[in-house]
Amino acid sequence: MSGKLNDKVVLVTGGNGLLGRAIAERLQLDGAIVLNADIAVTTTADLSNIYCDITSEASVSQMLEQIVGKYGRIDAVVNNAYPRTKDWGTKFEQIPFASWQKNIDLQLNSYFLVSQQALHYMKSAKSGAIVNMSSIYGVVGPDFSVYNGTEMTMPAAYSAIKGALVNLTRYMASYFGPYNIRVNCVSPGGVFDHQPDSFVSNYEAKVPLRRMALPADIAPAVSFLLSGDASYITGQNLLIDGGWTCI
């Protein structure tokens, strides 16, 4: 344990997910008090698990009131949750407009909501840090050739949402910088999650390091950006992609 996050109260949304679990575990190793906000958990007395629907203003408000009521503060937030509709991944020509609208609401608007309400407490404390989880596809266009031979595709809303998060991060960093609050973004490349072999082969052939990312490749960067080691870093988007975006 490094101790660089000792006793920091850190909220991680979507901590039950692939990246969320790895991030939460790393933050705990570095000394943080990690609170996992997820719709798939029941709230525990220590709030290490706390039920929250991040798309609901009332649910988010209640969650943050519980956290501040118990710990007196919230030091950091990792916006990591990934809510989406059941038809996520529909090809562009076939996306119902209502689905497009819903996914923008579920993902982008929930990141805004959690951030806005957490920043209220951070602003009063004149201290805090936020990391937003974006993606390489919030920065560059997708290479559709990696999906050849699979039923997979790159959801159009994903690019729009992740790109918007990068610039929302810059906005919040600029706006809240005078209150000693830092806001940064982490943009992973493709993370291995037992995708079809053909996709993995296609992807790994194109990335300079010749492998997909693992959750353990991403989590340390989140911890770093929340820590004092990054005390003069704000408004940045850290791409962790094995070199994908350098070529």
Which residue ranges make up each domain of the chain?
A: 9-246
Task: Return the CATH superfamily for domain 9-246.
Answer: NAD(P)-binding Rossmann-like Domain (3.40.50.720)
Q: Are 49 and 42 in contact, with CB atoms under 8 Å apart?
A: yes
Q: What is the phi-psi region of residue 210: left when phi exceeds 0, alpha when psi lies from -120 to 50, beta otherwise? A: left
- Does residue 157 have a pLDDT over 90? yes
pLDDT at 2: 72
| Residues classed as catalytic | 158
Exposed/middle/buried for residue 40 (C-beta within 10 Å: 0-12, 13-18, 19+): exposed
pTM of the model: 0.97
**Which two three-digit tokens encode residue 54?**
């991040």
Contacts of 147 (CB under 8 A, 6+ apart): 153, 154, 199, 202
Band of the pLDDT at 139, cuts 50, 70, 90? very high
Mean pLDDT of 21-41: 98
Q: Are 39 and 60 in contact, with CB atoms under 8 Å apart?
A: no
* Chain length of the chain: 247
Other CB atoms within a 10 A radius of the CB of residue 148 amount to 10
Band of the pLDDT at 36, cuts 50, 70, 90? very high
- Does residue 201 have a pLDDT over 80? yes
What are 90-131's pLDDT values in tens digits?
999 999 999 999 999 999 999 999 999 999 999 999 999 999
| CA–CA gap between residue 51 and residue 44 (Å, rounded) | 9
- Does residue 1 have a pLDDT over 80? no
Mean pLDDT of 67-74: 98
| CA–CA gap between residue 228 and residue 55 (Å, rounded) | 30
